[in-house]
Amino acid sequence: MLTFNRSFERPDKKWFEKFAAIATPIIGDVMGRQNIMDHRIRPIWTGARCVGSALTVMSYPSDNLMIHLGVSLAEEGDILVVDAGNYQNAGVWGEILTVNAMNRKIGGIIIDGAVRDIKEIEELGFPMFASGINARGGYKSNPGTVNKPVSCGGVAVCPGDLIVADENGVAVIPKEDIEIVYDKCLAKIEAEQQIMEQLKRGKDTLEIMNMDETLVKLGIKLI
C-alpha cells in the first residue's frame, strides 16, 4: 500500500508577497545560476506568474489520477509541481482541473508534461507552466506520489519549497534558504540599479564589471 502525507510544513505566506516583485533571473543569479527549471517549462499564456509553496506530485506518464489527488490535498496558495515524465502525447491538465484548483485557491501549476484547454485556462487567468500542449486526454488509473520529493524541469523540488514562476521561467527556492535568498535578491537588485546608473553616464559593461581584467587573464588582446 502506498501512503502519502496529507500535509507538510509550508513557508510563511509573507514570503509570497516579498517575492512577488522579484524576477526569476535575479533569483537564479543569487542561487549560483542553479534551481532554475529547464527551458522546456514555459508559461502557457503570456503574463502568467505565480508565487507559492510547492505541493509535489509524481504522476505516471499520460495519467492524472495523482494530480487530482494533489488538488484535493492542496491548501490556499499552494503551487502544484508535477513530474509527469515530460510526456508530450497526453494533456494531463485541463479546464476541469483548473476550475477545481481555483475553487481551492491554488496559486498555479508547474508541470513537466503536456496540458490542454489553453484558451479556456488563459481566460480564467490561472497561472500554468508546462513543457508541452496536447489535446489528447489522460487516464486516471495509475499510481504515483504526492508530497514526496520530485524532479521537475531538471530541478529537485521538495514539499514546501518556494516556487516563483514568471515569463522568464521557474525558480525553486529550498524552504530552508528562503530568507537568505531574499536578502541576496535585494542586494542584487541594488547592485544592478547602480550598474544601470553607470550605463546612463556612458560607461560600458566591460569597464563596470571589470571584464577587461578577465580578457587579460585569458590572453586576449585587441590589436
The CATH number given to 14-176 is: 3.50.30.40
Per-residue pLDDT of the chain (223 residues; tens, 9 = 90+): 777 888 899 999 999 999 999 999 999 999 999 999 999 999 999 999 999 999 999 999 999 999 999 999 999 999 999 999 999 999 999 999 999 999 999 999 999 999 999 999 999 999 999 999 999 999 999 999 999 999 999 999 999 999 999 999 999 999 999 999 999 999 999 999 999 999 899 988 988 888 888 888 888 887 8
What single letter denotes the amino acid at residue 100? N
Per-residue pLDDT tens over the stretch 58-73: 999 999 999 999 999 9
Contact assessment for residue 44 and residue 122, using Cβ atoms and an 8 Å cutoff: yes
Per-residue pLDDT tens over the stretch 130-149: 999 999 999 999 999 999 99
pTM score: 0.94
Chain centre distance of CA 24: 9
Provide, rounded to the nearest whole percent, the portion of the chain with pLDDT above 70.
Answer: 100
Q: How many other CB atoms sit within 10 Å of the CB of residue 66?
A: 24
Contact assessment for residue 95 and residue 121, using Cβ atoms and an 8 Å cutoff: yes
| Phi, psi dihedral angles at 29 (to 5 degrees) | -60, -45
pLDDT at 84: 97
Cell numbers representing residue 79 in the block: 503551487
Nearest C-alpha neighbor of 53 from the set 173, 156, 149, 185: 173
Q: Where are the domains of the chain?
A: 14-176, 183-217
Nearest C-alpha neighbor of 36 from the set 176, 130, 156, 129: 156
